[in-house]
Structure 1
Amino acid sequence: MRSRRAVLPDGERPAAVFVRDGRIAAVEPYDAPGPDGVDLGEVALLPGLVDTHVHVNEPGRTEWEGFATATRAAAAGGVTTIVDMPLNSLPPTVSVDALALKRAAATGQCHVDTGFWGGAVPGNAADLPALYEAGVFGFKAFLVDSGVPEFPPLSPPELAEALAAVDALFVIHAEDPAAIAPATTSPHYADFVASRPPLAETGAVGTVVAAAAATGRRLHVLHLSAAEALPSIVDAPTVTAETCPHYLALTAEEVPDGATEFKCCPPIRGAANRDALWQGLASGAIDCVVSDHSPCAPELKRADTGDFAAAWGGIASLQLGLPVVWTQAAARGFTLADVVRWMAARPAEIVGLSGKGRIAVGYDADLVAFEPDAAFVVDAGRLRHRHAVTPYHGRALLGKVRTTWLRGTVVDGVKPRGRLLSRGAA
């Protein structure tokens, strides 16, 4: 595969990428002799993106999303590896038996490679070592109500118990329930944002940082929304953090009354906060950008009433993450190499996917043809997610995914070729 804009670990340059048996065998100059293959010309060649924060919801809530639809959308968006969250499926992935059910549901359905997180909930600390040995990439925990009763939050002592049970990566939904006010019935987004102030995140991130310092464990802050929490993370050597496309692209000021498709937790905040998150990415305080794809059945978004308090909190964006981030990044002077670092290389490194996220010899030939200068307008009805609900509908974006290859084979959206990944064997 030849491209004059191949994004390699040392930057963007013309290159020819030779693939053998599903892996990258060589990276040579653009005009290196070899088979005709695919010549992309000025279309960029990226490594497949690695999205480590996806709620597939199957089994149990497959009417919200499922492995077939989620992974088809992922491939259409240039994502070749996902790691599925332990909720909102039923049962949640909090035991070895539940993991077996999750893997059985995913078998034969995945269009991209798929791994799994385990869950840490009150009372299951003794189950965590066996679940880790069974192949999950680490453990998700909430410090606040998760929104589903079968996945309750951990108190700080319960978090400490879980961390003591297994030496693994813990990924934390960091909001402090003491700083969150009950959301009142309202169609006004400002009322919802006010109920979950930045203090809720800064306090909970402080809890995460303290737990990391006390135990030496690796902890990862999920979907960071409040830029005020960044200084605490920078000073914590075993704490990493992610943010999401919606926090980098959308602003509270632009959310219309009743537009519950914008609701997520923690919330989208103001434009100044958005700019500060971009500064966090530039400085390295924020490690990566992942989707937190969290769809639901459309009626749960309560578009009929526009009530932010009653609506499900989650944004469907798995297919759109790359163009959403690239649109903003390009306007701010960042490069495709920056985006690849945030959305491919760094997520893979954090979770231990040693063969993913780079165009380099020995890595899986997960590749994306991306036309960075192509503009389009989002049509929710054309997305591959199960439901056509997204806050990006009608938004003009920059950058189109032309082709996605999984281990050197085009992902056609018809024949599932994705593998189920296990920690250590990925």
Structure 2
Amino acid sequence: MTPAVRPDDASPGADHSADSYLPGHGNGGYRVLHYDLDLEYRIVSNRLAGRATVTAQAVQPLSRFSLDLGQFRVEDVRVDGRRAAFTHRAGKLRIKPERPVGYGSTFKIEIRYAGKPTPVSGRWGDIGWDELTDGALVASQPNGAPSWFPCNDRLEKASFLVKIAAATPYTVVVTGDLVSRRRGAGSTTWVYERNEPTAPYLMSVQIGRYEQIELAAGRVIQRAAIPPRLRTVFRHDFGRHGEIMATMERLFGPYPFREYVVVVTDDDLDDPVEAQGMAVFGRNHVDGRRTHERLVAHELAHQWFGNSLTIADWRHIWLNEGFATYAEWLWSEVSGGLPANACAAQWHAWLKARPATVRVADPGVDRMFDPLVYKRGALTLHALRAGVGEQAFFALLRSWTAEHQHRTVTTEQFREHAGRFTARPLDALFTTWLDRPALPPVPRTP
């Protein structure tokens, strides 16, 4: 039996991240550079077996360290090829290497594990790897990544190589570029590479009996994986996707990844979910009437706001959701729907009818996905647009996405960035909209 890690080997803070909302997820003492995941998934029995090789760099001397991992049986752990002592309980894989890792050293952790992937349960329901009626999906925001691979589950970014073997009738779609697909006796192995720095929660796996089709032509590769029976209604509902992409590139700058993939599951989903270079919709979001086109725009906008620019702490969630919500209003304006001023007035009235109890810049962990954060975050941007003018507003958005591409960002950085595009002081505007619960008057652009 592998010896357990003794409590006196612990380093202060090693099992916690610096995130103010989810300190129990993520670990200190090192940063991950690369994840190499070699997985086999059996769909009928919902069994996942994997070998994860995690390349990391120590940011302090390490006599032991930890990773986040869900309810799997851990079979073996090695650090730089040497067997390591470990314990695994309560979602933490604690590892004591044979030799301490020196400050600044790059080291590799190899973990073999297996079991039934189980979503992470919490205040937002079940998050992570989940079974479908016929297949599986991964929707990890904010803390579901440990449901399928060992990781440092914080908002820091790394590159990924993911290899998954599954039964041949099924299509496997992973966030990243398809490197190879090799068919074997009864199973097919799919290999995807994600070179752009990616937070663990933004990695996704989709497995189903999907047909892969072109989503839209254009500079950016846009494709979809859908149930074949939904082909006709899908082509109508997503028929303007090329225009949405072109609009967002014009407003926000070049699309930040090589391709964009839309997956439609053959199950209903409460809400669509974004991943890096991917968005996942349920069959209930496809009805042949473009009822949910605003969500199509919302999820695409997350590729800039949330995925390329990823928040450094979950308290900054409005930088994801407020921006994606405002993208809905911008698409509505461009496509002949309600102008942004009308959208702002509509949602301002909705907010006014509710208690003003949320500080957008720091809503608290229980309210971070509250619709008030989404809508008031969008109104903050509309107020900024009204305050600095059209030309400066869109120039600052394009500059924001360009300067921080593939990095993490904070509200403080955005405030400072916006201030560069106007001679007018913006402190009062941001304080009123972001820091105080009371709802200001509805903003209007000319």
What TM-score, normalized to structure 2? 0.29
Could you say which structure has the higher strand fraction?
2
TM-score (ref. length: structure 1): 0.30
Larger radius of gyration: 2
